[in-house]
Structure 1
Amino acid sequence: MKAKSSKSVKPRKRRIIVLAATSADGFIARSDGSVDWLDRPTPKGGYGMAEFYQSIDTILWGRKTYDMALDFQKKGVPGSAFDTKIKNYVFTRGPLPSDPPAGVEFVTEPVKAFATRLRKRKGKDIWMMGGAGIIGSFLDAGAIDEFKIHVIPTFIGEGIPLIAPDRRNVPLRLISSKKFPDGVVELHYAVQS
């Protein structure tokens, strides 16, 4: 009879995952922030969003993306309210609002220190919502583990790129690709360190 191993199982590191939709020419929004080109019928299963949402307990926002979400909420856009069961961190360099929504905390500390501290806490994976500036800052700090990019079969010509421009070379390893019936393609990459 074999003795049971007394080795403890090391908890899995919480991953910071960018999940975003881009146009076929690589933009997350038009230059004015509009995402009207995303208004399209969603296929059954919603591109796996429900499953992904169950795998996270934290969302990271840049200030511009947060402000856009607040605007959607004020306009009554369905599904735009902040989920109080999820911890929402908003990175900002500007003045802090006096009355943020429940479940929202503002962050002004350096990205690397914040990400290191957050990953040490027990929990599920972390969704990097965006936008381009905060994604670029986390990528430059070596604090993004994966990208799940839903490429929408539409060119918009110009706009806000997925990642704020800078001189960088970040190798990626393809984990998977998936084609949906409406022509959307999900590219899932690991960031190679």
Structure 2
Amino acid sequence: MPDGVTPVALPAGVTLRLVGIDDGPALAAARRRDREHLAPWEPVRPEGFEDVDQHVDRIRDQLDGHRAGRLVPYVLEQDGRIVGSLTVSDVVLGAFCSAHVGYWLASDLTGHGVMTAAVRASAVQARDVLGLHRLQAATLPHNTPSQHVLARAGFEQIGYAPAYLQIAGRWQDHVLFQRILHD
């Protein structure tokens, strides 16, 4: 993965930065804190998902994928506390030059522009560091806060995907968004 993925200051004293192997305990604690807030928007998590060792293993895998150029795993940090994550994943270069973006944010920070700023910053780094042309994201149709984040970050709705992802234990439709990075 190219150098140049640098930390970015966001609203509310939050910083967007590359995840580190030492973030395992703080990330596990963040996921435990917001378990109920995140459950309706995510796949059913396996037993032990919130264990520190599981997070360290996932971070290790993410950093391997980062070094191989397949993804950029960010965390959002406020006063030493992990308050969210954002991942640019499924990076495809060549004629496509595209990737997906997914994210979550602690419940106490939603509605303050933090995630909008994080998505914007990740788009700039996707363009300038990774050389990508496009980012795609998907939301549940009833997840209007996430749709507003994407719209404010310059994404446009491009479609509707029936039974797109298995979320909260069932296959659910999603609204698809994209942002062209070389306007």
Q: Which has the higher helix share?
A: 2
Q: Same fold (TM over 0.5)?
A: no
The structure, 1 or 2, with the larger RCO (C-alpha pairs under 8 Å, 6+ apart) is 1
Please, what TM-score do these two structures have when normalized by structure 1?
Answer: 0.30
